[in-house]
Amino acid sequence: MKIKLDRIISIATLVASVGAIFLVLKKPAPVAPPQTPASIAAHAQLFDQKMEQFEQATQASQPAPSSGGSYQGAESQPASSAPQPKAEVHLNSDEVGAALAQSLGNAGAGAMGALGNGELTPDTNLGSGQPTIKDQQVSFEGDVVHGQFLTEVGGKDVWVTVSGHLGSANGHATFDPTEFKVGDLNVPVSLVNPALQKKLAEQADRTKLPDNVGDMKVQNGELVMQSK
């Protein structure tokens, strides 16, 4: 009876392993519809225009420099005490996705691709190399960002899907994952997050926000950046 039980356990373990491999290699449901080359070009142009307008609005909202002098006997003009409204830019997922398509390889994608090796512990060494990202998709839903990246793991093309909350702290972008999948296989976030945060900390130069950006978040299905 013991031999038969061991045999059954071995077969069940084999079946589970094969099933896990199948799920890892299976293409998951896309997080966003694909864009045509013409659509990518148009949305990328909109992205550039919005960012240029944001830059101009940021400069316009800066306080004017002091004249540095005054005339005796003349009343000085009091500076306005009303706070200047901060400049904001709102970007939808099509615009962000198009910009990413034209310039693949950001810190988040690099960290997520490196995490796809399946050996995830808080002390995992994810290496310094940047994996090749062959395709990507991004979408915003409420205050959550969904990202999907096609990379190569062990000579096989594997889709890595991650969802979470974007934010900012101390001049750097932050990411708090809420879901992680390799292929069609769910991976516990508690297993992924320590290695992901470690990788992002190691690549602080890549997560640094532009000097004119003070806050960043996903809100109402859009990426919102606010000036300092």
Summarised one tens digit per residue, pLDDT across range 53-111 is: 999 998 876 665 555 544 444 444 455 555 677 899 999 999 999 998 887 633 333 33
pLDDT of amino acid 81: 54
- Cα angle vertex 137, ends 134, 142, to 5°? 160
pLDDT of amino acid 62: 67
Burial of 228: CB neighbours in 10 Å, binned 0-12, 13-18, 19+: middle
pLDDT of amino acid 74: 43
In sequence order, what DSSP letters do the residues of 20-68 get, joined into one string?
A: HHHHHHSPPPPSSPPPPHHHHHHHHHHHHHHHHHHHHHHHHTSPPPP--
pLDDT of amino acid 207: 87
- In Å, how far are 4, 8, 228 from 1, measured between CA atoms? 5, 11, 72
195 contacts 121 by C-beta, under 8 angstroms: yes
Which residue has tokens 């960290």?
111
Q: Are strands 144-153 and 133-141 parallel, antiparallel or unpaired?
A: antiparallel
SS3 116: helix
Nearest to residue 225, comparing CAs of 84, 46, 91, 61? 91
SS3 108: helix
Summarised one tens digit per residue, pLDDT across range 133-191 is: 778 889 999 999 999 988 877 777 888 899 999 999 988 899 999 999 988 888 899 98
Summarised one tens digit per residue, pLDDT across range 8-23 is: 555 555 555 555 566 7
Nearest to residue 139, comparing CAs of 91, 207, 206, 176? 91
Domain boundaries, given as residue ranges, for the chain? 37-59+86-227
Dihedral angle sign, alpha carbons of residues 186, 190, 195, 196: positive
